[in-house]
Amino acid sequence: MVTDRLVHVIDDDDAMRDSMAFLLETAGFRVTTYESATAFLEALPPADRGCVITDVRMPGMSGIELLGELKGRRFGMPVIVMTGHADVPLAVQAMKAGVVDFIEKPFEEATIVAAIESALSRQGSIHVEDPQRAHIIERMKTLSAREAQVLEGLVAGKANKVVAYDLGISPRTVEVYRANVMTKMQAGSLSELVRMALVAEREG
């Protein structure tokens, strides 16, 4: 039912909230918007259905701080974070804190819709072992030693130039290795790649 496809959008940018609401309602979701993390907490909805999409950087309480607060309240609704390119390290931190996905801005309509559909399908079973884990581990075994090092740096939330410095290679070379890793891991985005690596790290 449409009422089960509820999305809570948290963003301090009025235009972004309106745009997201229109996009998602057109895609068949029911949308509630909030101008801040504090406003969301004050109206904290039941966590039995739907998902949350929040920006990472907001005045007052950030998306990362919101995650900590929700975790403390044992809030079980899946959370997706939106991030600018410079905030990818923060988004990686968010994924390690339990976020189910992060979406880099600007994003395609199909990307955000697919992320929400995936989050909703996982609700209630977020902690169940990912059935793709074995396949992910097999793909990781195909990485060269250097590609594995680059992947480790990305999962640590490091920018390309930092990974390059750590490994004593150029940022351009890191980009080449990163592209190779994306291909071998069959990842369509950086968020998907990070998610795969985190899934592989979990205890089997």
Tokens representing 188? 């369509």
Give the integer Cα–Cα distance in Å for 173 and 178: 8
Mean pLDDT of 160-168: 93
Q: What is the mean pLDDT of the chain?
A: 85
In the chain, the percentage of residues whose pLDDT exceeds 90 is: 42
- Top pLDDT among 67 and 49 is at 67
This prediction's pTM: 0.74
In this predicted structure, what is the pLDDT of residue 3?
52
Give me the pLDDT at residue 128, please. 45
Contact criterion met (CB below 8 Å) for 44 and 70: no
Residue 184 predicted with pLDDT over 90: yes
d(CA 125, CA 4): 16
Q: Are 112 and 179 in contact (CB under 8 A)?
A: no
Residues of the chain with CATH 3.40.50.2300: 2-122
133-152: average pLDDT:
92
Of 28-37, 54-63, 122-131, least confident by mean pLDDT is 122-131
User: Does 1 score more than 50 pLDDT?
Assistant: no
In this prediction, residue 167 has a pLDDT band, given cuts at 50, 70 and 90, of very high
Q: What is the CATH T-level fold of the domain 133-201, as seen in this structure? A: Arc Repressor Mutant, subunit A (1.10.10)
**pLDDT, average across residues 187-196:** 80
Would you place residue 50 in the very low, low, confident or very high pLDDT band (cuts 50, 70, 90)? Answer: confident
Q: What topology does CATH give the domain 2-122? A: Rossmann fold (3.40.50)
pLDDT at 158: 85
Distances (CA, A) of 120 to 41, 77, 144, 167, 183: 20, 9, 35, 39, 27
Residue type present at position 193: L
Q: How far apart are the first and last CA of the chain?
A: 34
Write the pLDDT tens digit of every residue in 71-88. 888 888 889 988 876 667
Between 119 and 24, whose confidence is greater? Answer: 24
Bridge partner residues of 55 (DSSP): 82
Q: What is the pLDDT of residues 109-139, one digit of tens each?
A: 888 998 898 888 876 554 445 567 888 899 9
CATH 1.10.10.10, the chain: domain bounds:
133-201
